[in-house]
Amino acid sequence: MSESWRRLASDVPALLALAVVALFVGAALLADVVAPHDALAVDLASNYLPASRTHLLGTDHLGRDTFSRLLLGARVSLTIALVATLAGLLVGATLGLIAAWRRGAVDGTIMQAVDVLLSFPDMLLAIAVAAILGRGVMSTIVAVAIFSVPIFARLVRASAQSVVGADFVVASRAAGASATRILLRHVLPQCYAPLLAQGTITLGSAILFASGLSFLGLGVQPPDPEWGAMLSRGRELLRSSPLGAVAPGVAITLVVLSFSLLGDGLKDALDPRR
């Protein structure tokens, strides 16, 4: 492990990415404390203000402070991404483990189901989910989770397959350990490294995906701030009041890029073959 850390520490892009992620996570956690204004306070008389000392990123249509909304939006976006990724990981990993362990028809059925899921265009799937569950945070989480299940299932199955036949697994089987115990104690830990790397990358795409949904009006509903929704509303004013769209746009880009770089860095650092 220390070897992995050393490798990660020498990966400058990954370290920078880690710093950006930490910054945004910090902002999300401390949004209430750090935000200079109430992100939901409407004050029509002071709308469309340009950036200033009191309003670092100006104000939006309704006179709400864009910087404060960006911070609170970080919380919304990151929470959605985290919950959805964890849910996708849990379901995906379980499916992958079962497929690897039972093999044969069970494996075939699960993996085919996963392939079917994978073949759906992401957005179409999400729109279907929003249509069934109604728009809002919950359906966004479900949609993003569903879309991240296949990748985790495949990843865990591939990693698990390489160890289910290993001597230590056969030994614990012979010793009478239950399948659940073997999978959780012996097989799953072998998948931690790729899961961590993939999970980080998925967090990034989850944010992008959730923003896309909100951009289309299917995700987080107003007046709650969310980056995609902010971008969508600010877009019309790109020419006259650009910060309203540029700020959330840059935030999305930075965070998604950072998660992606960090994930790549982790993948390299944790790769046992290196």
Partner 1 sequence: MKKLIVVVLVLLVVVACGGGGGSNTPTGPRDTLVFAASADATTLDPHNTTDTESDQVIMMLYETLIGFDRDMKIVPRLAERWDVAADGVTWTFHLRDGIRFHDGTPFDAEAVRRNFARVMDPVANHKRLVLFDMIDRVEAVDARTVRITTRYPFGAFEPTMAHVSAAIVNPAVAEKFGKDFGSAADRASGTGPYRIASWKKDQEIVLERHDDYWGEQGRTERIVYRPIPEAAARVLALEAGDVDVISRIPSADIARLEKEPGITVTKTPSVGMQQFRFNVTKKPYTDVRVRQAISYAIDRRAIVDNLVSSFARPSTGPLTPIMRGYANLGEIPHDPDKARALLKAAGYPDGFKTRIATTPRYPMGVELAEALAADLKKVGIEAAIDVIEWGTMVTYWAGLPPEKNPQEIFIMGAGASTADADWGLRPIFRSAPTNENNYGYYSNAEFDRVIEAAMRETDAEKRQQLYRRAQEIVYLEDPGAVWLFDTLYVVASRAAVEGVTPSPLGAVTFAHAVVR
Residue ranges binding partner 1 (CB under 8 A): 42, 44-45, 47-48, 61-63, 135, 217, 221-223, 233, 235-241
Smallest distance, partner 1 to C-beta of residue 5, A: 46
7 or 61: CB nearest partner 1 = 61
Output the smallest distance, CB 116 to partner 1, in A.
27
Beta carbon nearer to partner 1, 189 or 222: 222
Task: Give the Cβ contact number of residue 140 at 10 Å.
Answer: 32
Hunting for tokens 């990660």 — which residue is that? Answer: 8
C-beta closer to partner 1: residue 135 or 154: 135
How crowded is residue 109: how many other Cβ atoms within 10 Å of its Cβ? 12
Hey, CA dihedral for 219, 224, 227, 232, is it positive or negative?
positive
Instruction: Output the six-digit token pair for 258.
Output: 């950072």
Nearer to partner 1, 47 or 161 (CB): 47
Tokens describing residue 145: 């989770």
Is the alpha carbon torsion for 205, 134, 152, 82 positive or negative? Answer: positive
Q: Which is nearer to partner 1, 236 or 271 (CB)?
A: 236
Quote the least distance from Cβ 150 to partner 1, whole Å. Answer: 28
Q: Specify the residue, 11 or 60, whose C-beta has the smaller distance to partner 1.
A: 60
DSSP state of 1: -
Minimum distance from CB of 239 to partner 1 (Å)? 6
* Least distance between partner 1 and beta carbon 210 (Å): 16
| For partner 1, the closer CB: 13 or 134 | 134
The residues that bridge with 65 in the sheet, in sequence order, are 59
Question: 234 with 248: CB under 8 angstroms?
Answer: yes
CB of 118 to partner 1, least distance (A): 27
Length of the chain (residues): 274
Angle at alpha carbon of residue 194, lines to 203 and 190, rounded to 5°: 135
Q: How far apart are CA 156 and CA 92, in angstroms?
A: 8
Beta carbon of residue 134, minimum distance to partner 1 (angstroms, whole number): 9
Q: For residues 184 and 149, what is the distance between their CA atoms, to the nearest angstrom?
A: 19
